[in-house]
Amino acid sequence: MGGLRNAEGVLYFLRLWRLARSRLRYLCFDIFLRRFFISDPIGYSLARGARLRKRPSRVSWTMTPVIGITAQQRDVATSYGAQPAMTVTRSYSDAVAAAGGVPLLLPILDPATVPHALDRLDGLVLTGGGDVSPGLYGGAGHEAVYGVHDPRDQSELAIARYAAEKKMPVLAICRGIQILNVALGGDLIADIPSQVDGGFEHFVTGDGAATEAHQAIELEETCGLARLFGTSSLKVNSLHHQAIATPAPGLRPVAWSEDGVIEAVEPEDPSWPLLAVQWHPENLVETEPAARTLFDELIAAARGANR
């Protein structure tokens, strides 16, 4: 009986020792984090949260890429009147999540803070929206230009340039391909119907305009997108009246609509995982395999980036 009690005492002491040692390790780690992130409370919270997860969760958290999705400002109705809000349509976040990423809304930022935000992301979606200001690419004003928001333009110029510098995985959609082109030194067609000879209306409206593939495009047979889709002929949706005029240095056009308007570009540097299209694949993921492929490819590239 005495031997049994002694054994129980030893086991109890070992349990206490393991508990104390575990808490001491945690305390030391927490002190280290506080000192390392002394001027970065967000970084401290993220690092501490990852440390507190159980091991299987931590592995999942590390391997699941976080994708920033650029937001736009809209007024929303509240109980105290209309208020400005940062918004993203669910089609973007749903498409990212369905492909295996964690969607994270990226608000309009002070350009000086862009590196701090993007360094915490594994990939980026540059979304659609209002027109890019013609003044940013030396264009003249046009009566068809709408929805210009200077703070968003300045934020996304900085985001696009930093993403290009870091060769970050990017999916640029509609306005996204346009702001990317301007950020890197290219320019735009301010209004396709009035400025392109033979140009047709690309800004399709009405039922099914966003969710149906109704416009034919042709891709360069040897380009990356054609290999990715397994075809050089594609049908897409079309919700724009602006497009790339002169591609920026380092970008080359690889897809065109029937009136010659550029529908996609690729980087000349093959080490940059950039997907840039003029159509809206986020609205076609339920029906068009090519649309799903774009998001799958973004997530695959982002997984490789976060290792």
pLDDT digits (tens, 9 = 90+) for 268-298: 999 999 999 999 999 999 999 999 999 999 9
How far is residue 39 from each of residues 53, 104, 106, 115, measured CA to CA in Å?
A: 24, 23, 21, 16
pLDDT band per the 50, 70, 90 thresholds, residue 57: very low
All residues at 6 or more sequence positions from 251 whose CB lies less than 8 Å from its CB, including other chains: 180, 181, 184, 186, 265, 266, 267, 268, 276
Strand partners, 244: 188
Report the candidate in 130, 255, 260, 153 with the shortest Cα–Cα distance to residue 203: 130
- For a pLDDT cut of 90, what percent of the chain falls above it? 57
From CA 227, how far away is CA 257, in angstroms rounded?
A: 18
Mean of pLDDT values over 171-179: 97
Q: Residues in the chain, how many? A: 307
From CA 217, how far away is CA 5, in angstroms rounded?
A: 82
DSSP letter string, 217-239 = EEE-TTSHHHHHHT-SEEEE--B
Task: Describe the crossing of helices 41-52 and 2-36 by its angle, rounded to 10 degrees.
Answer: 160
From CA 152, how far away is CA 140, in angstroms rounded?
A: 20
187 with 138: CB under 8 angstroms?
A: yes
DSSP letter string, 125-158 = EE---SPPPGGGGTPPP-TT-----HHHHHHHHH
- Please confirm, yes or no, whether 202 is among the known catalytic residues: no
Catalytic residue among 156, 282, 288, 297: 282
Mean of pLDDT values over 71-87: 88
Mean pLDDT (the chain, rounded): 83
- Please confirm, yes or no, whether 116 is among the known catalytic residues: no
Task: Describe the crossing of helices 55-63 and 41-52 by its angle, rounded to 10 degrees.
Answer: 130
247 with 181: CB under 8 angstroms?
A: yes
Range list of β-strands (E), the chain: 66-70, 72-78, 81-87, 102-106, 123-126, 170-173, 187-189, 215-219, 233-236, 243-246, 251-257, 262-267, 274-277
Mean of pLDDT values over 133-161: 89
Is 55's pLDDT higher than 50? no
215 with 190: CB under 8 angstroms?
A: no
Tokens in use for 230?
């397994």
pLDDT band per the 50, 70, 90 thresholds, residue 251: very high
- Between 51-55, 92-96, 155-159, the lowest mean confidence (pLDDT) is in 51-55
From CA 267, how far away is CA 274, in angstroms rounded?
A: 7
Catalytic residue among 174, 223, 240, 263: 174
Catalytic residue among 149, 240, 241, 280: 280
* Placement of tokens 């290792």 in the chain: 307
How far is residue 227 from each of residues 140, 220, 274, 290, 291, measured CA to CA in Å?
A: 38, 10, 14, 11, 14
From CA 267, how far away is CA 273, in angstroms rounded?
A: 8
pLDDT band per the 50, 70, 90 thresholds, residue 29: low
Mean of pLDDT values over 202-228: 82
- Please confirm, yes or no, whether 282 is among the known catalytic residues: yes
Phi, psi of 153 (to 5 degrees): -55, -50
